[in-house]
Amino acid sequence: MKEIFERVSVRSYTDQPVEAEKIEDILRAGMCAPSAGNERPWHFVVLKDPKDFLPLMQISEHLQMLPQAKYVTQKRYRFDFWVQDCCAALENMLIEAKHLGLGAVWCGIYPDTEKIIRLCCMYGLPETVEVLALMPIGYPAIERKVHDRYKSDRVHIGRWENVLRDGATLDSLGFSDKRSASDEQMITS
C-alpha cells in the first residue's frame, strides 16, 4: 500500500479548506481500527472554525499550524488498552489523510496530565475522558521527500541474537522456498 510508504508528517498547509466528506472519510478510517475486546473506545472532537483553534496555541508550540484539527479521546472502558486502540485509530487516519491527498501530523498529548486537563476545560470534555493526541489536517504546503526506513538490523530471526546483516533479505534466508537460513546473512552473537 503506497500510502504507508509515502506518508510523512505534514506541518504546513495551504489555505484550501478540507472538504467535509474527506474529514468523514478520515473519521471512518479511524473507526475501522482494531481494538481490544472490540471496545472501540475512541471519540473524536473535530475543530473546524479557526476561532476554535486559537486556544490550542497555549497547549503547544507545535500547534501553530492548524487548518483543521481532531482530538482522539477515550472514555473509561472495560479493557485497559485504550492507548493502543486509539493509536491504531490515529495511524489509520494518517494513512487515509495521505490517501486523500491531505497532510497531517500526530501531536502527542497523553500522558501529559496538565495538557489533558487544559484541553478538557477548553473544549468541555468530561473528567472521565482522556485526550490522546491532536491531529492537524490540511492540504500540504510543501512536498517532503520520503526515504526508505527499512533497517535489516532491526529484524531478529527466531531469537534476539540472530540479526539480519545489512542488505540481507528474508528471501535470502530461504523463507519463500523453505531452505534453511544461511548464517552468512545473519550476525549471530
Q: Which of 72, 107, 125, 137 binds ligand FMN (CB under 6 A)?
A: 107
Q: Is the sign of the CA dihedral 141, 61, 122, 36 positive or negative?
A: positive
Would you state the cell numbers that stand for residue 33, as one nine-digit string?
481500527
Q: Which of 3, 9, 14, 161 binds ligand FMN (CB under 6 A)?
A: 9
CA 150 – CA 174 distance, rounded (Å): 19
17 binds ligand FMN (CB under 6 A): no
Output the smallest distance, CB 63 to ligand FMN, in A: 8
Burial of 45-74, coded b for 16+ CB within 10 Å and e otherwise, reads: bebeeeebbeebeebeeebebbbbbbbbbb
C-alpha dist (Å) from residue 31 to 58, 89, 148, 154? 29, 6, 29, 30
106 binds ligand FMN (CB under 6 A): yes
Only segment of 26-34, 67-75, 101-109, 120-128 that touches ligand FMN (CB under 6 A)? 101-109
Maximum C-alpha span of the chain = 62
Q: What is the total count of residues that contact ligand FMN (CB under 6 A)?
A: 9
CA 24 – CA 7 distance, rounded (Å): 20
8 binds ligand FMN (CB under 6 A): yes
Work out the number of other CB atoms within 10 angstroms of the CB of residue 25: 17
At 147 the three-state DSSP class reads coil
62 vs 75 by CB, closer to ligand FMN? 62
Only segment of 6-14, 44-52, 112-120, 155-163 that touches ligand FMN (CB under 6 A)? 6-14
Output the smallest distance, CB 156 to ligand FMN, in A: 23
Task: Please give the residues from 47 up to 66 whose contact with ligand FMN meets the rule CB under 6 A.
Answer: 60, 62
Output the smallest distance, CB 31 to ligand FMN, in A: 19
Q: Which of 34, 37, 50, 108 binds ligand FMN (CB under 6 A)?
A: 108
105 binds ligand FMN (CB under 6 A): yes
Residues making contact with ligand FMN (CB under 6 A): 8-9, 11, 60, 62, 105-108
